[in-house]
Amino acid sequence: MYRTIFSNVGQYRKQAILTPITIIGEVIMEVTIPLVMAHIIDDGVSRGRIGYVAGLGGLMVVMALFSLAFGALAGRFSAVAGMGFAKNLRSAMFRKVQSFSFANVDKFSTASLTTRLTTDVTNIQNAFMMFIRMAFRSPIMLICATIMAVRTNARLSLVFLAAIPLLGGAVFFIISKAHPRFRKMLTQYDDMNAKVQENLIGIRVVKAFAREDYEKKRFKDNTDSVRRAQFMAEKLVILTMPIMQLVMYGSIVAIMWFGGNMAVDGDIKTGELSSFIMYVSQILISLMMLSMLFIMFVISRASMQRVAEVLEEEPSIKDNETAETMPQDGSISFRNVSFSYYNDMANLALDHIDLDIRSGETIGIIGGTGSSKSTLVQLIPRLYEATEGTVTVGGHDVKEYSLDTLRSQVAMVLQKNVLFSGTIRDNLRWGNEKATDEEIIAACKSACAHDFVVSFPDGYDTDLGQGGVNVSGGQKQRLCIARALLKKPRIIILDDSTSAVDTATDSSIRAAFRRDLADTTTIIIAQRITSVMDADRIIVMDNGKITDIGTHDELMQKSSIYREVYDSQQKGADE
**Contact residues for ligand ATP, defined by CB under 6 A:** 106, 341, 349, 367, 369-375, 415, 496
Q: Which is nearer to ligand ATP, 370 or 459 (CB)?
A: 370
Question: Contact region for Mg ion (CB under 5 A) — 254-262, 394-402, 410-418, 541-549?
Answer: 410-418
Q: In the complex, what is the shortest distance from the CB of residue 334 to ligand ATP, in angstroms, rounded to a whole number?
A: 14
Contact predicate 160/259, CB 8 Å: no
- Choose the contact partner of 367 out of ligand ATP, Mg ion, none; CB within 5 to 8 A by kind: ligand ATP
For residue 235, give Cα distances in angstroms to 167, 338, 504: 18, 51, 65
Contact predicate 524/532, CB 8 Å: yes
Per-residue HEC secondary structure of 361-405 comes to CEEEEEECCCCCHHHHHHCCCCCCCCCEEEEEECCEEHHHCCHHH
Q: In the complex, what is the shortest distance from the CB of residue 375 to ligand ATP, in angstroms, rounded to a whole number?
A: 3
- Choose the contact partner of 371 out of Mg ion, ligand ATP, none; CB within 5 to 8 A by kind: ligand ATP
- Choose the contact partner of 106 out of Mg ion, ligand ATP, none; CB within 5 to 8 A by kind: ligand ATP
CA nearest to 490, candidates 389, 415, 400, 380: 380
- Choose the contact partner of 42 out of Mg ion, ligand ATP, none; CB within 5 to 8 A by kind: none
Q: Which is nearer to ligand ATP, 372 or 531 (CB)?
A: 372
Contacts of 567 (CB under 8 A, 6+ apart): none
Contacts of 476 (CB under 8 A, 6+ apart): 417, 419, 468, 500
Q: In the complex, what is the shortest distance from the CB of residue 541 to ligand ATP, in angstroms, rounded to a whole number?
A: 7
Q: In the complex, what is the shortest distance from the CB of residue 524 to Mg ion, in angstroms, rounded to a whole number?
A: 12
**CA–CA separation, 130 and 292 (whole Å):** 9
- Choose the contact partner of 370 out of Mg ion, ligand ATP, none; CB within 5 to 8 A by kind: ligand ATP
Q: Which is nearer to Mg ion, 4 or 499 (CB)?
A: 499
Q: Which string of b and e fits 20-38 if b means at least 16 CB within 10 Å?
A: bebbbbbbbbbbbbbbebb
Q: Which is nearer to Mg ion, 406 or 412 (CB)?
A: 412
Q: In the complex, what is the shortest distance from the CB of residue 120 to ligand ATP, in angstroms, rounded to a whole number?
A: 25
Q: Residue 154: how many CB atoms within 10 A of its CB? A: 9
Q: Which is nearer to ligand ATP, 66 or 341 (CB)?
A: 341
Q: In the complex, what is the shortest distance from the CB of residue 339 to Mg ion, in angstroms, rounded to a whole number?
A: 14
Q: In the complex, what is the shortest distance from the CB of residue 484 to Mg ion, in angstroms, rounded to a whole number?
A: 16
Which residue of this chain has its Cβ atom nearest to Mg ion in the complex?
374
- Choose the contact partner of 546 out of ligand ATP, Mg ion, none; CB within 5 to 8 A by kind: none
Residues in the chain, how many? 575
Site membership for Mg ion, residue 415 (CB under 5 A): yes
Task: Write out the DSSP string of 179-227.
Answer: HHHHHHHHHHHHHHHHHHHHHHHTHHHHHHTT-HHHHHHHHHHHHHHHH
Q: Which is nearer to ligand ATP, 431 or 544 (CB)?
A: 544
Q: Which of residues 427-486 bind Mg ion (CB under 5 A)?
A: none
For residue 348, give Cα distances in angstroms to 316, 398, 575: 18, 21, 39
Alpha carbon of residue 79 to chain centroid? 22
Q: Which is nearer to ligand ATP, 105 or 161 (CB)?
A: 105
Q: Which is nearer to ligand ATP, 219 or 341 (CB)?
A: 341
Q: In the complex, what is the shortest distance from the CB of residue 345 to ligand ATP, in angstroms, rounded to a whole number?
A: 15
- Choose the contact partner of 301 out of Mg ion, ligand ATP, none; CB within 5 to 8 A by kind: none
Q: In the complex, what is the shortest distance from the CB of residue 378 to ligand ATP, in angstroms, rounded to a whole number?
A: 8
- Choose the contact partner of 369 out of Mg ion, ligand ATP, none; CB within 5 to 8 A by kind: ligand ATP
Residue type, 545: K
Q: Which of residues 352-381 bind Mg ion (CB under 5 A)?
A: 374
**CA–CA separation, 567 and 252 (whole Å):** 93
Q: In the complex, what is the shortest distance from the CB of residue 561 to ligand ATP, in angstroms, rounded to a whole number?
A: 13
- Choose the contact partner of 15 out of ligand ATP, Mg ion, none; CB within 5 to 8 A by kind: none
- Choose the contact partner of 349 out of Mg ion, ligand ATP, none; CB within 5 to 8 A by kind: ligand ATP
- Choose the contact partner of 193 out of ligand ATP, Mg ion, none; CB within 5 to 8 A by kind: none
For residue 126, give Cα distances in angstroms to 120, 133, 235, 268, 369: 10, 11, 20, 43, 49
Q: Which is nearer to ligand ATP, 76 or 528 (CB)?
A: 528
Q: In the complex, what is the shortest distance from the CB of residue 499 to ligand ATP, in angstroms, rounded to a whole number?
A: 9
Contact predicate 335/355, CB 8 Å: no
Contact predicate 533/364, CB 8 Å: yes
Contacts of 20 (CB under 8 A, 6+ apart): 74, 132, 133, 135, 136, 137
> Exposed, middle or buried: residue 396 (CB in 10 Å: 0-12, 13-18, 19+)?
middle
Interacting residues toward Mg ion by CB under 5 A: 374, 415
